[in-house]
Amino acid sequence: MDICKKDSFKTIIFTIIFNIMVKYSSKIIITGGLGYIGSHTVVELQSKGFEIVIVDNLSNSSIEVLDGLKIITGKNVIFENIDLKKSDLVTDLFKRHSDLTGVIHFAASKAVGESVKNPLDYYENNICSLINVLKGLEELNKPISFIFSSSCTVYGQAEILPITEKESIKKAESPYGNTKQICEEIISDLVNSSKNLKAISLRYFNPIGAHESTEIGELPLGIPQNLIPFITQTGAGIRDELTVFGNDYPTNDGTCIRDYIHVVDLAKAHVAALFSIMNNTHSKSHECYNIGTGKGTSVLEAITSFEKISKTKLKYKIGSRRIGDITSAYADTSKANKQLNWKAELSLDQAMASAWKWQKKISK
Ligand code: NAD
Ligand code: WQD
């Protein structure tokens, strides 16, 4: 059998086993499931037949997301309005859902600048919540698949591009980045001692875009810190102009390079990760995977993509560098391609078009 045939045979067998497993043992808890990436992941999991329990305290999301999810999938989810920092509520939550088989832990605070201003809030929310969730799971004393939302921020400015998972983890640039490093370490320590927990950390690169239905998408609070929402808000006339943070970097056009991944591709990576843990297809009990497209895009290229898909000119100026920005980060995704049988499929233009369609809907 040649390699391609062998791989597709393996995929068919895995898919059959996976579908059977989903049918008979399918309750997954999604913490932060009303948020940007969590909500898109709920859609993908529901399309595969999982029963979903969303746990969210609405600190950075809106209850209306539940309506959007219902419109897209036609299915119901169970919603638990719980603050994961409250350990007694978390213990009680897992007792009520003790038939669960997996948890995807998205819930966290994510604004880098805010984490510099309020480090204790970030350590408390991101680390205490994780510990409460893991303690609750350990108390159940049954096999659990656990997926953690990590970030490419753990690499800082990598020495070798594209970035593989073997890249060294440097001192974090921000308290937010540090929480991701610490959380990954906590998970590693726990799986070493736990007989029940198997975990995957997905290190996301730069998620952008929205579901094609425009029922769910990113809802940045206040002035967006991230590039793509700033571009689409400028295009929609909410912001006067975009400032490009520096054009004197050692890159082709002088602007920084990132790996922008469509949020729907990212959501699908979570299904693939669950599938992989449930089928025991990796050797270590805590594996980390880069989730990106593998393609680097400069800030000016992102602007060009926006102008192309929106058929408008974007108003922008070149400003000074933003403190803490790294020059280039894009993923080597071969580990996820091979071991999770997952690959990003959507292009930058497709992701940008979905972000623009979403922006036009929410700014009406
Ligand atoms: P988001 O803010 O849209 O979603 C997070 C959700 O968690 C929100 O709905 C919020 O209300 C909820 N939440 C926060 N603290 C909670 C708590 N204590 N109890 C219950 N719910 C709580 O963020 P997102 O962009 O969807 O990110 C999801 C995860 O992915 C986060 O862990 C984030 O750090 C990580 N991540 C995001 C990006 C990105 O660029 N968006 C990149 C890399 C990693
Ligand atoms: C992208 C590029 C900016 C805004 C963030 C988090 C990181 C991780 C991923 C969570 C950079 C430039 C931006 C603007 C600009 N998230 N830019 N003008 O820097 O990769 O990181 O998302 O884990 O922790 O910090 O993404 O979207 O902020 O910036 O020129 O108004 O766009 O300088 O080069 P980044 P970003």
**Model confidence pLDDT, tens digit, residues 74-114:** 999 999 999 999 999 999 999 999 999 999 999 999 999 99
Q: 363 — alpha (psi -120 to 50), left (phi > 0) or beta?
A: alpha
170 C-alpha to center of ligand 2: Å? 18
Per-residue model confidence (pLDDT) at position 6: 65
End-to-end CA distance of the chain: 56
Going by their DSSP bridges, the two strands 257-258 and 297-298 should be labelled as antiparallel
Nearest by Cα to 17 from 310, 274, 258, 358: 274
Q: Cis ω on the peptide bond leading into residue 250 (within 30° of 0)?
A: no
Please name the residue that has the structure tokens 């769910």. Answer: 216
What integer is the mean pLDDT of 314-333? 97
- pLDDT tens for each residue of 134-167: 999 999 999 999 999 999 999 999 999 999 999 9
Per-residue model confidence (pLDDT) at position 20: 62
Per-residue model confidence (pLDDT) at position 11: 67
CA distance 131 to 315: 45
Percent of the chain surpassing pLDDT 90: 89
pLDDT band, very low/low/confident/very high, at 4 (cuts 50, 70, 90): low
What integer is the mean pLDDT of 347-355? 98
Token representation of residue 310: 């929106």
299 C-alpha to center of ligand 2: Å? 10
228 C-alpha to center of ligand 2: Å? 9
Q: Which atom of ligand 1 is nearest to the CA of 204?
A: 43
- pLDDT tens for each residue of 244-268: 999 999 999 999 999 999 999 999 9
CA distance 171 to 178: 8
Token representation of residue 28: 């997954």
Percent of the chain surpassing pLDDT 70: 94
Q: Where are the domains of the chain?
A: 3-207+261-293+332-346
153 C-alpha to center of ligand 1: Å? 15
CA distance 106 to 229: 20
Question: Which residues are designated catalytic?
Answer: 176
Calculate the average pLDDT of the chain.
94
What integer is the mean pLDDT of 269-273? 97
Neighbours of 363 (CB within 10 A): 12
CA distance 61 to 219: 8
CA distance 152 to 161: 13
Looking at the DSSP assignment, which residues form a beta bridge with residue 287?
200
Per-residue model confidence (pLDDT) at position 310: 98
How would CATH label the architecture of 3-207+261-293+332-346?
A: 3-Layer(aba) Sandwich (3.40)
Inform me whether the pLDDT recorded for 175 exceeds 80: yes
What integer is the mean pLDDT of 214-224? 93
Amino acid in position 196: N
3-state secondary structure the chain: CCHHHHHHHHHHHHHHHHHHHHHHCCEEEEECCCCHHHHHHHHHHHHCCCEEEEECCCCCCCCCHHHHHHHHHCCCCEEECCCCCCHHHHHHHHHHCCCCCEEEECCCCCCHHHHHHCHHHHHHHHHHHHHHHHHHHHHHCCCEEEEEEEEHHHHCCCCCCCECCCCCCCCCCCHHHHHHHHHHHHHHHHHHHCCCEEEEEEEECEEECCCCCCCCCCCCCCCCCCHHHHHHHHHCCCCCCEEEECCCCCCCCCCCEECEEEHHHHHHHHHHHHHHHHCCCCCCCEEEEEECCCCCEEHHHHHHHHHHHHCCCCCEEEECCCCCCCCECCECCHHHHHHHCCCCCCCHHHHHHHHHHHHHHHCC
Token representation of residue 211: 């579901």
Ligand lying closest to the C-alpha of residue 172:
2
CA distance 234 to 220: 14
Q: Pocket of ligand 2, candidates 148, 204, 226: which has the most ligand atoms within 8 Å of its Cβ, to mutate?
A: 226
Torsion of the alpha carbons at 56, 61, 64 and 70, rounded to the nearest 10: -60
pLDDT band, very low/low/confident/very high, at 364 (cuts 50, 70, 90): confident
Residues near ligand 1 (Cβ within 6 A): 32, 34-38, 56-61, 83-85, 106-110, 125, 129, 149, 151, 204, 207
